[in-house]
Structure 1
C-alpha cells in the first residue's frame, strides 16, 4: 500500500436556487439527505442529513445557503463519484403535504473538466433546484480540522469558521452559530486541499447580536501525514485552539487485485448490515 496524494472531490457549499411555490408563511424548512459514494468506500458519505422533525431553516438574508455537515472522511476521486440526494421542504402537518425539492443522483467523472477549479452545478427537481459548488482536485490531501473553545469571557459568543485552499480560494463554512458552555469542542471537520498549497482557516468571532467582530486566520502547510496546532487568543473574549491532522486516502493494493475484489465487496456488504442503506457495490460499476 502506497501513501501519497490522490485525486479528491471537495464540496464547498449548497444553496437553494429556487422553489416552485410562490410564497411561504415563515422560513423555508429543508430536510432529507445529500451524500457521496466513491471507490474507496461505497457507503453513503453524508454532507446533509436531517429528519423531518429536525429540518434546517434557511433564509434569504443568508443567500439561501444550506448549512452542510462535515463528511466522515474525504471523497476520493480516482474514479467517478456518485452524488445522490432526496431533499424536501416541510410545508404541512403531514409528510404527504411536503414539497419534494430534489430526488435522484448524478455522477461526476474524474475525467471531465474542469480540474483544480471550483464550479457550480444545478440539481433540478420537481419542486425546485439546489446549486452545488465543488472541485475535482489532482494530488490532494485530507485535513481533519478540530476546534476547541478553551476559555470564553461571558456568554453569547458567536463563531463563524471557514476553510479554503490557497489555490482555489473557495470557502466552505464549517460552523456558524452561537457557542454554548465553555470549554467545549466543536467536533471534527474534514476538508480536501491540493498539495503544494496552503489550508486557510478563518475565524469570525463576536457577541450574539453585536455588530463588532474580530477576524483571525492561519495558513497551514499541506502535508501527507502529521498534525499542527495553533491557538488564537482574543483579549477579553475567547481563546480558540485549532488542530489540523493530515492524511491521505489510500486504497489497499490487495483490494484492487482481481482475486480479492469479491472478498472486499463481501466485507463491505457485511459492514452495511446495520445500515438502512441497501446499496450493493460492484467494482465493475466503475
Structure 2
C-alpha cells in the first residue's frame, strides 16, 4: 500500500507514520524489574505475550538492469503498539549501502538482506505496521537510482501462531520476500557476543539462531573478524520454556580451517543475571551472554 494512500486511513494516525524518529524503547527494559510479585522467580506481574519474529529479508528479483554488484540502501522498519515509532530492521544510507552479489536467485544465501535490527522485541498484541523504502544505487545522484520497494503493510495479530510464512513485496524494480512468524507466550532474548582472541589474519564468522523449535533459521551475523571485538546486540523472540539455539561457523581466510560450534539457552521471563556460555572454536574464544525480558 502506497504511503500517499495510507494518509487517509486510520492506522496512518494510530502509528504516527509522519513521525520518522526511531523508537525510544530499548531491549532488556524488564530484565531486572523491581516490582515482581510475589518474587522474581515466580512473577505474576510481567507476563510473556504475542511477539513478531522476522526470520529473513530476501531480494527475490530485480527487473532493472544493474551493472555489477547491487548496492542496496534505505530502510525496513516496524511500528507496534508499544511505541509507534520506527524499530529498524534494516537501515542504510546512500553513502553506506549494503553490497550484494548480482546472482539474485531466490533461495540463494547471497540474496539475503542483513538484519541488524530490531532494536527491541516487536510486540504483536495488536496489529503491526511494516514500513519500507529501499532503493538500488545506480549512478552519481539519487535521481539515477532504482526504487526497489516503497510503502507499508499491516500484519494482523490473528494468524496461525508459531508458523513461519513468507510474503512477497512487489516494487517498481523488483521484489523483496519477508519471512516472519507470530509467536505466542513469548519473551525477548538479547544476545551479546564477545570475541576475545583472534590469531593470524582473522576469520569469517557466520552466526545463526533457531528459536522456539521452529526449523527456519535466522541469520544474525555474517562477516569478517580481524581483531578482538564485541558484536552488535541481537534481539530474538523466543517462546518461554523453549530453546534459543545459536550456531557459529568459523572459516579461515585461506580456507584451511572450518570450525562449527553451538550453544543453547532455555527461555525464561527475566532474571538478575545473564545466562553465559563460553565456546572455544579453533584458536578463538567466544563468550555469549544472554538476557531475558518481557516487553511490558
TM-score grouping bracket, smaller chain normalisation = 0.7 to 0.9
| TM superposition shift of 1:209 | 4.4
SS in 2 for 1:239: strand
Question: 2:198 touches 2:226 (CA, 8 Å); kept in 1?
Answer: no
Measure, in 1, the Cα distance between the counterparts of 2:62 and 2:96. Answer: 20
Measure, in 2, the Cα distance between the counterparts of 1:4 and 1:234. Answer: 37
Pick aligned residue for 1:185 from 227, 230, 243 = 230
Q: Name the residue aligned to 1:102.
A: 149
Q: Name the residue aligned to 1:284.
A: none
Measure, in 1, the Cα distance between the counterparts of 2:281 and 2:58. Answer: 32
- Output one character per residue of 1:174-194: Cα deviation in whole Å (capped at 9) or x when no partner: 111111322x11121101111
Q: Is 2:62 aligned against 1:19?
A: yes
Matches within 5 A, 1:141-152: 141-152=187-198
Q: Name the residue aligned to 2:82.
A: 40
Q: Name the residue aligned to 2:170.
A: 124
Question: 2:51 touches 2:182 (CA, 8 Å); kept in 1?
Answer: yes
Measure, in 2, the Cα distance between the counterparts of 1:211 and 1:17. Answer: 33
Point out where structure 2 has 5 or more consecutive residues left out of the alignment: 1-34, 36-44
- Output one character per residue of 1:149-202: Cα deviation in whole Å (capped at 9) or x when no partner: 0112222221111111142122111111111322x1112110111122100011
* Structure showing the higher helix proportion among its residues: 1
| TM superposition shift of 1:211 | 5.8
Point out where structure 1 has 5 or more consecutive residues left out of the alignment: 251-286
Q: Name the residue aligned to 2:92.
A: 50
Q: Name the residue aligned to 1:29.
A: 71
Q: Is 2:285 aligned against 1:243?
A: no
Question: 1:32 touches 1:50 (CA, 8 Å); kept in 2?
Answer: yes
Measure, in 2, the Cα distance between the counterparts of 1:4 and 1:141. Answer: 8
Q: Name the residue aligned to 1:9.
A: 52
CA distance 1:63–1:187, shift in 2 (3 Å): closer
> Runs of 4 or more off by more than 6 Å in structure 1?
none
| TM superposition shift of 1:94 | 0.9
Q: How many pairs align?
A: 246
Measure, in 2, the Cα distance between the counterparts of 1:128 and 1:9. Answer: 25
- Output one character per residue of 1:236-256: Cα deviation in whole Å (capped at 9) or x when no partner: x20000011000000xxxxxx
Pick aligned residue for 1:234 from 281, 290, 295 = 281
Q: Is 2:115 aligned against 1:73?
A: no
Query: Does 159-168 or 54-63 show the bigger shift?
Result: 54-63
SS in 1 for 2:68: coil
- Output one character per residue of 1:101-144: Cα deviation in whole Å (capped at 9) or x when no partner: 00000000101x23110111011111111000111001111000
| TM superposition shift of 1:234 | 2.3
Measure, in 2, the Cα distance between the counterparts of 1:148 and 1:81. Answer: 32
Q: TM-score, normalised by structure 1?
A: 0.83
Q: Name the residue aligned to 2:250.
A: 205
Measure, in 1, the Cα distance between the counterparts of 2:76 and 2:270. Answer: 29
Q: Name the residue aligned to 1:167.
A: 213
